[in-house]
Structure 1
Amino acid sequence: MAAAVAAVGPAAAGATHTVAIEGMRFNPDSLTVERGDKIVWVNKDLVAHTATATAAHAFDSHEIAPNASWAYVARSPGRFAYVCALHPTMKANLIVKSKR
């Protein structure tokens, strides 16, 4: 889990970005953030979803219930493809850049 992102803590800094899960899609389906930014996935669908990186040990939200959210802070630069483990046709990318 720690390779791409770490759990949000009180010392988290940076911008906050939102990914809506709606209509069986991640919106946006590609998001570029800086290291230290927080990403919040908000499930607006009527069924549970996940945000699960395809790379081992990167990140995995586990089930996000309808009307619930899950947040992580990007810690490692890179490009991280992710899917909904429950609905694998739902695909997106998180791109983490080093701070300038």
Structure 2
Amino acid sequence: MGALGLVTACGGSPPRGPASRGITPGAGQTLPGRPGGTGPASSIPVMPNTATAPPPRSAPATPVGPNSVAIKNFAFHPAALTVKAGTTVTWTNQDPEPHTVTSQGQGPLRSATLASGASYPYKFTTPGTYKYQCSIHPFMTATVTVTQ
């Protein structure tokens, strides 16, 4: 007797595949995995490859002017800026997410929520160190130092 309890005519292995189970194609049909058949030999569905390549790395944030701060990749660039009193600093959101420019503690910086592409200018008139953050993402922090 063969491995599946079938008697084989030549003492070899028992037949395998769809034909051994009594499955035969009808007129104009084919069986996957058989000569002349189409498709994979397995009954497991084959899913198309839907994986995509990772997005290209974005370019580093670049301020849009000499007294500018870019908001990109959830950070302020530069994180430390020094300007003279009377200078206007402009923050521009280059992220697809909204951000703010908000003084830490008491301070003059209080932007509205900046959508992607929006800017916030502020004129510094008093020397000092101004620490600020994004109120939506408090881990984003930076400093403007104002000199005489």
TM-score, normalization: structure 1? Answer: 0.79
Query: Is 1:92 the counterpart of 2:142 in the alignment?
Result: yes
Query: Is 1:22 the counterpart of 2:72 in the alignment?
Result: yes
Give the secondary-structure state (helix, strand or coil) at the position aligned to 1:89.
Answer: coil
Residues 33-90 of structure 1: CA deviation (Å, up to 9, x unaligned): 0001110001000011011011314221121111111101111110011000000000
Note if contact 1:16-1:38 (Cα within 8 Å) is conserved in structure 2.
no
Query: Is 1:45 the counterpart of 2:95 in the alignment?
Result: yes
Structure 1 outlier segments of 4+, above 2 Å: none
Moved more, 52-61 or 80-89: 52-61
Give the counterpart letter for 2:142 in structure 1.
A
In proportion to residue count, which structure has more strand? Answer: 1
- How far the C-alpha of 1:30 sits from its partner, in A, is 0.3
Percent identity of equivalent pairs: 35
Q: How many residues align?
A: 84
Tell me which residue corresponds to 2:126.
Answer: 76
Give the counterpart letter for 2:128 in structure 1.
G
Tell me which residue corresponds to 1:10.
Answer: none
- How far the C-alpha of 1:16 sits from its partner, in A, is 5.5
Give the secondary-structure state (helix, strand or coil) at the position aligned to 2:99.
Answer: coil
Structure 1: state its 5+ residue gaps. 1-14
Larger of the two Rg values belongs to structure? 2
- Higher relative CO (Cα under 8 Å, sequence separation at least 6) belongs to 1
Structure 2: state its 5+ residue gaps. 1-64
Moved more, 57-66 or 22-31: 57-66
Residues 7-29 of structure 1: CA deviation (Å, up to 9, x unaligned): xxxxxxxx950100000000000
* Distance (Å, rounded) in 1 between the aligned partners of 2:145 and 2:139: 20
Q: RMSD of aligned C-alpha atoms?
A: 1.4
